[in-house]
Amino acid sequence: SDMLGGGETVIRLLSGVGRESPSVHPVNVTVLSLLLGKALGMAQADLFDLGVAAFLHDMGKVQLPERVRWPQDNFSTDEYRAYQDHVAYGVSMGKKMGLSKPVLQTIAHHHELIDGSGFPSRIRGESMSLAARILALVNRFDNLCNPYQSTLAITPHEALSLIFSQLKNRFDTSALSAFIRMM
């Protein structure tokens, strides 16, 4: 509720600490996902599920070896497959936590893309919930702005420009349009 209310709480969450804190990415993704979900008119219960999924979307990374927790351009095929496993690990952990089916599905689809080029299942957009389409977009945006290697970071404006000019066919059109307006 506080995150959806906007104002001072949201500003503090989005500008609080540097990328070196492991909590920054899930907080950024949660706040931005909730704001985008609200802008797209999602119901309160759906926003709650989106918020839980956004906050926990990468929890499966704790089960990965440290060297493959963050994608690198020089990953071998095996390392990239190991990195992709964080999605299945996250869903498995979520089931043990008793998370709802919509939350589990959103976590399962947070790297899927509407053109079918995502992972792990390579599903297409029509098979993705609105929450999953929001999370996939916001996750990519935050990873561009706050990558694991801070020297690769780009500004929010540059990230939006890159997504729109080079990746727009991979994301939901209405979510991307609303995200650009919101940002």
| Of the candidates 104, 126, 129, 139, the residue with the CA atom closest to the CA atom of residue 33 | 139
Q: What share of the chain in percent tops pLDDT 70? A: 88
CA dihedral sign, ordered 16, 59, 162, 181: negative
Judge if the upstream peptide bond of residue 120 is cis by omega within 30 degrees of 0: yes
Supply the DSSP symbol for 116.
S
Tens of pLDDT, residues 26-63:
999 999 999 999 999 999 999 999 999 999 999 999 99
Residue with tokens 């309160």: 44
Asked if the model's pLDDT at residue 130 lies above 80, the reply is yes
Q: What share of the chain in percent tops pLDDT 90? A: 79
Asked if the model's pLDDT at residue 20 lies above 90, the reply is no
- How far is 140 from 146, CA to CA, in rounded Å? 10
Tell me the backbone φ, ψ of residue 62, rounded to 5 degrees: -65, -20
pTM: 0.90
- Mean of pLDDT values over 165-175: 96
- How far is 164 from 80, CA to CA, in rounded Å? 25
CA dihedral sign, ordered 171, 41, 43, 146: positive
- Mean of pLDDT values over 67-77: 89
- State residue 121's pLDDT score: 96
Higher pLDDT, 23 or 57: 57
